[in-house]
Chains A and B, each alone.
Chain A
Amino acid sequence: MITKADWQAVNHELMAEQRRAFGEPPPTEQLLAYTRGELPAEAEERVRDLLVCHPDFARAVAVPFPREAAMPGEADFLSETELANEWAQLQRRLHRPRSRTGGGVLQFPHALTALAAAIALVFAGLYWQAQSQLHRLDAPRLVVDEQLLQPDERTRGGQPAVTLTARGDSFLLIVKVAPEATQLAIVERTAAGERPLWSSEAVPRNDGTFAVIVPRRFVAPGEYQLVVSAGAERLATYSVRVEGE
């Protein structure tokens, strides 16, 4: 007698195989485009397969987003007192420096994400002022190589992806983020399409820039794109190539 548990065990085994075959869940931007029906058929089918084997993400798509406002008198409607308390909490958070990123500089969390590109970005008009000093011997050190890149739309029809030339221990990636930016992501560009490697909330430092340190030993040769977005909208992209040493 085949039980429900048998079916579920088989399904979970199949999903694990599919995760190994299909890869990581779709990037948020692609997922939102999928829910709006904006993807071409082939990409849509790929997202379907990814959702089936990443059910946490499928559930996020499956549950309808709330659209009906709660009205006064309903249990979901905040009372004036509750609203005042909530508003005070939000105000405190709005004026509190965001410390989650350790002063605005992120370290790549682990090797998988650190396969990402090495990019050094400085926007026109915004210079990264930090002068990093290279210490030899055993002292902890950070090597900062700066390379001026232009957003893709400024080089369209002209230059291909910029080849990075930095040769330090680490790369410092700097990007100016617009106030409306909500996310930064690094994707690897392959013949099969884009593969998300890393993403983060866009939490800028005081000067409006966002910085990420990538250890050089984690950088693999290939083509990458850094994407700055606000929700589903891409605000800017930067294409770079990393070549083998």
Chain B
Amino acid sequence: MKMRKSDDGRDERFKSLYQKYYRRMVKYYVHAFRLEQEDAEELTHDAFLRFYEAMDEYRGEAEWAFFESIARNVALNRIRSKGTIKRKMEYVDLEHPKAVAAGQAAQQHDALERKMMHDAIAALAPSQRQAVQLWLDGFTYDEIARVLRTTPEGVRSRLRDARRLLRARLGDDVTFPEDEE
């Protein structure tokens, strides 16, 4: 890796950004990528080092946009390299509910109910289904809006319509997770 000789002006500019953004970046990595503090600090170092090596070509707003690209890139590559986090949830075999039930009527009922829920979600319009799935995964309205590139109001509307359709398919007494918004 070709390294530039120390450049006081460049170094000072870098240090100033580092001083103001280092902890914010660590927090960002912890929150956005669900990393441990130590991993987040390491990624922050990686991102700033890469930025340092090429920062002379950018100034002002372009400089921070460039840093954002590097920082996201570094973290996304980390996720890719580790693979998607395995979920601890036990899955139900929706295609063979009888196998799950194993002769137990209550479990068989539950499995059939889940299959109906599964099919009802899958039958929603894509924009509603996407919002519902993110919502069930714990995303807030604001977060869903950013992921789907829409507004929080748009998300609220999609979720309201989706719940209505799910009730129509599953029955009026169906209950949804509590809305934390």
Q: Which residues of B contact A9 (CB under 8 A)?
A: 89-92, 114
Quick check: which of A29-37, A128-136, A211-219 contacts chain B, the rest being far away? A29-37
A232→B134 CA distance, assembly (Å): 26
Q: What mask results when residues 1 to 29 of chain B are scored 1 for a CB within 8 Å of chain A, else 0?
A: 11100000000000101111111110110
**Beta-carbon nearest neighbor of A180 in chain B:** B54
B103 within 8 A of A: no
Q: In chain B, residues 121-137, which have Cβ atoms closer than 8 Å to a Cβ of chain A?
A: 121-122, 126, 129-130, 133-134, 136-137
- Indicate if the CB atoms of A28 and B118 lie closer than 8 Å: no
B interface bracket (residues with beta carbon within 8 Å of A): 35 or more
B37 within 8 A of A: no
- Indicate if the CB atoms of B20 and A71 lie closer than 8 Å: yes
The one of A52, A53, A65, A230 that contacts B28, using a Cβ cutoff of 8 Å? A65
A139 within 8 A of B: no
- Indicate if the CB atoms of B174 and A12 lie closer than 8 Å: no
**Beta-carbon nearest neighbor of B20 in chain A:** A69
A140 within 8 A of B: no
What 5 A-B pairs are tightest by C-beta distance, nearest first?
A231-B69, A63-B32, A62-B143, A69-B20, A66-B24
- Indicate if the CB atoms of A59 and B32 lie closer than 8 Å: yes
A200→B18 CA distance, assembly (Å): 25
Quick check: which of A75-83, A147-155, A165-173, A220-228 contacts chain B, the rest being far away? A75-83
**Number of residues in A with C-beta < 8 Å to the partner?**
73
- Indicate if the CB atoms of A7 and B136 lie closer than 8 Å: yes
The dominant DSSP class at the B interface is helix
A182 within 8 A of B: yes
Residues of B bordering A, CB below 8 Å: 1-3, 15, 17-25, 27-28, 31-34, 45, 48-50, 52-54, 57, 64, 66, 68-77, 79-80, 84-85, 87, 89-92, 94, 110, 113-114, 117-118, 121-122, 126, 129-130, 133-134, 136-137, 139, 143-144, 146-149, 174-178
Q: Which residues of A contact B3 (CB under 8 A)?
A: 94-95
A49→B71 CA distance, assembly (Å): 24
Extra 6 A-B pairs, beta carbons < 8 Å, given A13-B118, A69-B24? A2-B117, A53-B133, A60-B79, A65-B28, A231-B70, A231-B73
A183→B46 CA distance, assembly (Å): 13
Residues of A bordering B, CB below 8 Å: 1-4, 6-16, 19, 25, 28, 31-32, 34, 37, 44-45, 48-49, 51-71, 75-78, 83, 86-87, 89-90, 93-95, 98, 179-180, 182-183, 199-201, 203-204, 208, 230-232
Smallest distance from the beta carbon of A144 to chain B beta carbons, Å?
24
A74→B19 CA distance, assembly (Å): 11
- Indicate if the CB atoms of B174 and A2 lie closer than 8 Å: yes
- Indicate if the CB atoms of A25 and B91 lie closer than 8 Å: no
The one of B24, B49, B113, B149 that contacts A37, using a Cβ cutoff of 8 Å? B149
A161→B21 CA distance, assembly (Å): 44
- Indicate if the CB atoms of A52 and B76 lie closer than 8 Å: no
- Indicate if the CB atoms of B73 and A52 lie closer than 8 Å: no
Smallest distance from the beta carbon of B42 to chain A beta carbons, Å?
10
- Indicate if the CB atoms of A1 and B148 lie closer than 8 Å: no
Show 13 A/B contacts (Cβ-Cβ < 8 Å), sorted by A: A6-B113, A9-B91, A10-B94, A31-B76, A58-B147, A60-B76, A69-B17, A77-B20, A179-B2, A182-B69, A182-B70, A201-B77, A230-B69
